Amino acid sequence: MNTAEFLTSPLLTRAGFRHAFFTRNGGVSVGPYESLSFSVTVGDQPDSVRENLARAARALHIDPTKLFFLSQVHGREVRQVDAAATFDAVARTEGDALASGDPAVGVGVRSADCVPVLIGDRKTGRVVAVHAGWRGVELGAVEAAIDHLGAAPEALVVAIGPHISLEAFEVSDDVAARLVACSPDPGVIAREPGARPHIDLRRLLRAKLLARGLDPRSVDDVAGCTVGEPARFFSFRRDGAKSGRHLSVIVPRGLHA
């Protein structure tokens, strides 16, 4: 396979936004990074990652040098980018959400259990990609991204991508308490007698989005558990430090698209 495999959101597609939640299939990386991995820092070969990025860019019909992502730090900082930026400079910049209104670029986030969230403004065509691990969820990374766009809730369309599921996301009592405390929906926690708690990050993020005024019909769930589906997804929780990283990307839409 020489074509990058990806999943899409019907809502984003209908709103005119090119985007992709790339799986682990359709790349050239080998070993624990097989095959569509997008990170050199976890041990993959630079040439392999470069080719994987080229395949992702080709799938989205953009220049490979204009497919951007940040150095993610599990925070809530939002950065802005356009076609004048350079790949290396953006990749060295710390942040967990990347926004743009330039249809010549793609903004992305990398993940391997954390939640990728892609957001589009139907009115302006501007977009933001968010990396939301549990710390970013607690800190309000998605809310910061929405604030950065400055759009009315009814203008937004959001897709929550594949990540660690409720069944797989076992956490400490402390982490569970912190996430429940930041959730408008108390039902995000599940606990069996004698077992550690589990948290539903998808349900938590959806609750946060609805609390910001979004219509439930404007929030899409792109299904998939990174831990439970090794044939489709990388997972740090399942495989440890030597595992690949996914890329999720959205392209701004021209005003007249």
Q: Is residue 98 part of a domain?
A: yes
- Does the pLDDT value for residue 1 go beyond 80? no
Share above pLDDT 90 across residues of the chain, in percent, rounded to a whole number: 96
**Cα gap 67→107, rounded to integer Å:** 6
pLDDT for the residue numbered 2: 78
Mean pLDDT of 18-42: 97
The tally of CA atoms less than 13 A away on the side-chain side of residue 212 is: 25
Q: Is residue 12 part of a domain?
A: yes
111-121 per-position pLDDT tens digit: 999 999 999 99
CA dihedral in degrees (106, 29, 51, 244; nearest 10)?
20
pLDDT for the residue numbered 256: 45
Provide CB contacts within 8 A for 180, sequence distance 6+: 186, 188, 189, 199
Predicted confidence band of residue 255 (pLDDT cuts 50, 70, 90)? low
Position of tokens 């204009």? 66
Neighbours of 71 (CB within 10 A): 13
- Indicate the average pLDDT of the chain: 97
Kind and range of the H or E element at 121?
strand 115-121
Q: Is residue 222 part of a domain?
A: yes
Q: Which two tokens stand for residue 90?
A: 């953006």
52-96 per-position pLDDT tens digit: 999 999 999 999 999 999 999 999 999 999 999 999 999 999 999
Instruction: Report the SS3 class of residue 145.
Output: helix
Q: Is residue 200 part of a domain?
A: no
User: Domain containing 114: what range?
Assistant: 6-163+214-250
Neighbours of 241 (CB within 10 A): 8
**Cα gap 149→99, rounded to integer Å:** 8
3-state helix, strand, coil in the chain (%, to 5): 30, 20, 45
- Tell me phi and psi for residue 185, to 5 degrees: -115, 110
Q: Is residue 176 part of a domain?
A: no
Q: Is residue 15 part of a domain?
A: yes
Q: Is residue 78 part of a domain?
A: yes
Q: Which two tokens stand for residue 143?
A: 């809310």
The predicted model scores a pTM of: 0.98
Beta partners for residue 131, in sequence order: 116
Q: Is residue 105 part of a domain?
A: yes
Instruction: Report the SS3 class of residue 98.
Output: strand
Mean pLDDT of 142-157: 98
CA angle 8, 14, 16 (to 5 degrees): 90
Nearest alpha carbon to residue 135 among 118, 119, 114, 116: 114
Number of domains in the chain: 1
End-to-end Cα, the chain, rounded Å = 31
Beta partners for residue 20, in sequence order: 249
Mean pLDDT of 23-28: 98
Query: What CATH number has the domain bearing residue 77?
Result: 3.60.140.10
Predicted confidence band of residue 254 (pLDDT cuts 50, 70, 90)? confident
154-193 per-position pLDDT tens digit: 999 999 999 999 999 999 999 999 999 999 999 999 999 9
